[in-house]
Every structure is written in structure tokens, then in C-alpha cells.
Amino acid sequence: MTDLHIAVLREAARLGFGRVRVARAGPPPNFDRYDAFLAAGYHAEMAWMAESRDKRSDCRQMLPQAKSVVVLAMDYAQPAPPDPGGLTGRVASYAWGRDYHALIGLRVRHLRKALEAAFPGLATWGAVDSAPSWERGWAEAAGLGFNGKNGLAIVPGEGSYFFLATMLLSEELPPDAPVPERCGRCRRCLDVCPTGALLEAGGMDAAKCISYLTIEHDGPIPEAYRAKMGRWVFGCDDCQTVCPHQHPAKGPVPEDFAPRRAWLPLPAILEATDQALRDTFEGSPLRRAAPDRIRRNAAIVLGNIGDPRARAVLLRARDGGNTILAEHADWALGRL
């Protein structure tokens, strides 16, 4: 093992990355999956996925002299806080704590800085999530995990509750071997997905995914999906919780990911001003969804809970002058 390889593994572990694997830089294998996803329109209104397609198709677009892709994973799995019941909505577990973009982005920067300081002449690039890097494609290529039928990168016997990040290096490190697919005949995720977003042949139609609908999608949520959202007010974990590979995290999980908002008080969300919602969700992944989207989701979930105690707050939402919220509140009132 070269000094650089040892330094990458040691520094990444010190910064809290529980798994580190390497792939050879260039076009990610199986990128035809990304193109098929776009061609089928499965990206729905996420136009940036098409706009950034060329950059994702070869990591050397981000660092021309790249020789290696280092794939980094950080666990976020935490025991689920008890269900408070009543008029509350569920938040997907990746969003319970502080925003991972900031936390992991900073650690990737620290990692790059440390390596560049120790290895003069080394060029690096790094990012988490929002940059044009095809993270699950690289995770699969680097043997960090296999891609399950639920679409997630899964470590056999450990699960999928981890975030991914990628770092490019101008030096060659030996690539790791891919992990064989371990779904076998299991199809629990396909069967549990409330909206049928997962495709039998592999991949997903994001337009049908509750995670997309509640976080990324603007405007009305199609009626066909509203009841299927159940109590999900932000994101969805159904296809992960059923996975037999899911286990509690083996190593320490950053305190920043401790569950602060696993359940949202829906009437309070509906009545809060835009500014109050922005302030409340500052520094949390929940900040990604505009206040109108969170209120729209809250109205649907109140309809799904069906508790008549929500009538007064839904009536105020219906009559408050926001056309989209009014229509969702009206739908919810019809279900009480």
C-alpha cells in the first residue's frame, strides 16, 4: 500500500467516514442507467439532473487529471424516537439531525486539505450530494456496497443508512473489487413501496416517489399519491426499513445526526409563518423544502390521519388565501 493510500484511509477514518473504497477515474460503469432514467422522464421536474448529465458522465470533467475516485460513506442510522401519535407527521431518518451537506462537505474539505498538504503536487476535488457526481454509480463501481432493488447502496449485513461523498485524486490508487448483488429472491422493498415507484427491472420512477413528491416537487401533489403518503411529511424510508440487510450502525454516528426532528407537529406547521418555518429548519435538511411545500405536505398527512381535531386548523388553511394549500386542505377536510 502506498503512503498516499494509507493517508487517505487513516485521515478519512479520523474524520468519521466509516467506509472508504476506490474506483478508477473515468466514465462510471453502467452510466447507461442514468441515461435511461433521463430518457424515460423519471427525473420529473428535477431538470438539473439532465443539465448536469455530461459532467456526471465522466468525473474527469471535474478534475481533468483525476486517476482515482475515492468513495466515502458516513453512517447516520440512529434508533428511532418513539411515535408521539396524535397530529404528527413522520420525517425520513436522513433528515432527523443537522444538514449533512454542511457537515460532510466540511469534512471532505478537511480531508483534501490534509492530503494536499502532505503530498505536494497532488490535485483533488470533492463533493457531497449536490455536485455533479454520480455517487451511487461510484459506490457500486468501488465496491462500497451493492445496489439493491430499492435503488440504495447497501453494505451486506449493515444496510443503507449512510451518506455518500466522492473525492477525486490525481494519483492512482488500486481499485477495490465490486460487492456481489445480495438481494437474491427478496422483493420486500418492491412490495412495500406505497406508490409503486420502484421498477421491477431495476431503478425507479422518481415522479412517483414520496421522497421526491414531498421534498423536490413544487405545486399540487397528484391526488393519486396523497393517501399513499400516509404519515410521511418529509421524505420516506419504507423501502429501507424493510430491507433485511438493515442493522444498527457499527461505529459512532456523529452527534450532529442525533434525532432532533423525527416527528413534526402538523397544526403548528400549518399555522407558522414562512419566516418562522425557515428559522425553525435552519441548518436541517428540512430547509430544502420551501414553506409552502411543507404546509402542503402537512395538510395531506392531517387528511390521512383523519382525526377531527384537525378540522379547525384545516379550515383556516383552506380559507387563508394560498390557492394550492387551500386545495390540499379541502382534500384533507374531505377525509376527516
Choice between 173 and 207, CB closer to ligand SF4: 207
* Residue of 129, 256, 292, 330 marked catalytic: 129
139: nearest Cα among 203, 73, 67? 73
298 three-state secondary structure: helix
* Cβ at position 144, least distance to ligand SF4 in Å: 15
149 binds, options ligand B12, ligand SF4, none, Cβ within 5 to 8 A by partner type: ligand SF4
90 binds ligand SF4 per the rule CB under 6 A:
no
Q: Which of residues 81-140 bind ligand B12 (CB under 6 A)?
A: 92, 94, 128-129, 133-137, 140
46 binds ligand SF4 per the rule CB under 6 A:
no
What grid cell was written down for 75?
453512517
162 binds ligand B12 per the rule CB under 6 A:
yes
258-278 core/surface letters (b: 16 or more CB in 10 A; e: else)? ebebbbbebbebbebeeeebe
In this chain, which of 11, 99, 158, 238 binds ligand SF4, going by CB under 6 A?
238
166 binds, options ligand B12, ligand SF4, none, Cβ within 5 to 8 A by partner type: none
21 three-state secondary structure: strand
* Cβ at position 29, least distance to ligand B12 in Å: 8
Binding mask 195-214 for ligand SF4 (x = CB under 6 A): x-xx-----x----xxx---
* Cβ at position 136, least distance to ligand B12 in Å: 3
Which residues, at least 6 apart from 309, have a Cβ–Cβ distance to it below 8 Å? 87
237: nearest Cα among 220, 266, 214, 265? 214
List alpha helices for the chain, DSSP H. Answer: 3-14, 32-39, 47-51, 53-56, 100-118, 135-141, 188-192, 210-211, 223-226, 238-241, 266-271, 274-280, 291-305, 311-318, 323-333
Stretch that binds ligand B12, among 1-9, 169-177, 212-220, 264-272 (CB under 6 A): 212-220
272 binds ligand B12 per the rule CB under 6 A:
no
12-50 core/surface letters (b: 16 or more CB in 10 A; e: else)? beebbbbbbbbbbbeebeebebbeebeeeebbbebeebe
238 binds, options ligand B12, ligand SF4, none, Cβ within 5 to 8 A by partner type: ligand SF4
Q: Is position 129 annotated as part of the catalytic site?
A: yes
Where along the sequence are the contacts to ligand B12 (CB under 6 A)? 30, 33-34, 37, 46, 92, 94, 128-129, 133-137, 140, 147, 150-153, 160, 162-164, 201-204, 206, 209, 211-212, 215-216, 235-237, 239
Catalytic (active-site) positions: 129
